[in-house]
Amino acid sequence: MFELFIEEILAKKRGVQGKFQDKTYIRLTNSYGGWPEGSIVFKDLIIAGFPKIGRINSLESGLREQFSGSFWMEEKVDGYNVRIFHHQGQIYCATRGGFICPFSTDRIVDLLNVDIFIDHPNLVLCGEITGPGSPYIEGPTPLVSEDIKLFIFDIAKGSTMEFLPERQKHELISRYALPSVKNFGLFENQPEDLRQIKKILLSLHNEYREGVIFKEEPFGRRTKYVTANSDLNDIAVFSQKILDVSPNYFIDRIIRYVLFLTELGLIEENNWEEKLGKAFVCGIKEVLKKVQADGRSSRFFRCRFRELKNAEYFIEHLKHIPGHQEHVIIKKVYKENSYWVLEFEKTFPSTSDTLRNWLSGALRFD
């Protein structure tokens, strides 16, 4: 059914072939033919890429600009995006980039009662996986203290890029007891609602949770807004690989941090300047120590698999993720209780090389 389309994609270099177990597929590395980047094309099925959601950096004016009527407010979880779908009798999880993820696919039965696919084989569940046992996420997450959890936030209709209206999604979530993000209810652009929205954001901020997504009712526009403490957390985590990250990443977060604190009336409190400094400095102190001791900066990961062969597929998969080639060191694979544990290290080459060079006393011309 999509054979010709697949040939076209490959000929025009808009996608590349992926493989998981005995399954081959095409993942779009660029949007093509109306399908967004990250879409997955099988011979008989297309799973659309997850659309980008625009961010507002200014809450009140942002909500006013984006929504003329009612909108839902729902928690945004800091993890990695998966699309969970059914194909020829098996459940798969795809990451944002369109890879079928051996880790998420292996563990999905731990995270979700997959009965929903018996009744609705054509739905695509979209969620966030997070936790210290994730192979992609660095740094702590306040919602999960060990291993990983899944938080569903959208359900798409089969191959289309169309999401179910919120109420219908809530119904399915409740009927199948799906693990989902927290929904804070329906709001409008009026003073009492804005006060309530800010109150919720303040409590998310205080718990170091990431932020929220606002979604038009019954469906349509959507936008994200994150807390200052989530920006801080990003800075603290990413400053450990400060020279392997686009410097704009930090500048954006610094400005957003100030905007959030200003808009939520926290700007006159007295320890948040120190917290910004600390976020940078703790990470950099740490990485300097590591570079001095080990000659490199790196991060340790430990994740559990149900099946050994999926751990092996995952090791292979890591080599294909942009920016991961050559920078992953596999440390150990061993059995613990009923799981296989994979331990690996990601190294940060620019941070390691540059800081080692600076510490050696080299001259720099800038």
Q: List the one residue out of 156, 21, 218 whose CA is nearest residue 100.
A: 21
Closest approach of Cβ 238 to a copy of itself, in Å? 11
Which residues partner with 363 through β-bridges?
none
- How far is residue 304 from each of residues 42, 111, 132, 337, 339, measured CA to CA in Å? 28, 13, 11, 10, 6
| DSSP character string of 285-311 | HHHHHHHHHHSS-EEEEEEEESSHHHH
User: Among residues 27 and 253, whose Cβ is nearest to a copy of itself?
Assistant: 253
User: Of these, 7, 44, 171, 274, which contacts a copy of itself (CB under 8 A)?
Assistant: 274
Q: List the one residue out of 259, 270, 344, 253 whose CA is nearest residue 302.
A: 344
User: Among residues 88 and 360, whose Cβ is nearest to a copy of itself?
Assistant: 360
User: Of these, 54, 69, 121, 179, which contacts a copy of itself (CB under 8 A)?
Assistant: 54
Name the segment binding a copy of itself (CB under 8 A); options: 21-29, 156-164, 198-206, 352-360: 352-360
User: Of these, 164, 258, 321, 341, which contacts a copy of itself (CB under 8 A)?
Assistant: 258
Reduce the secondary structure of 228-259 to three states and give it as a string: HHHHHHHHHHHHHHHHHCCHHHHHHHHHHHHH
Range 287-306, binding a copy of itself (CB under 8 A): 288
Does residue 352 bind a copy of itself (CB under 8 A)? no
Asked if 53 contacts 67 with a C-beta cutoff of 8 angstroms, the reply is no
C-alpha to C-alpha distance for 167 and 194, rounded to whole angstroms: 22
Q: Going residue by residue from 211 to 240, which x/- string records binding to a copy of itself, judged by CB under 8 A? A: ------------x---------------x-
Range 305-324, binding a copy of itself (CB under 8 A): none
Does residue 285 bind a copy of itself (CB under 8 A)? yes
Closest approach of Cβ 29 to a copy of itself, in Å? 18
Asked if 257 contacts 233 with a C-beta cutoff of 8 angstroms, the reply is no
Binding region for a copy of itself (CB under 8 A)? 52, 54-58, 60-66, 223, 239, 242-243, 246-248, 250-252, 254-255, 258-259, 262, 267, 272-278, 280-281, 284-285, 288, 355, 358-366
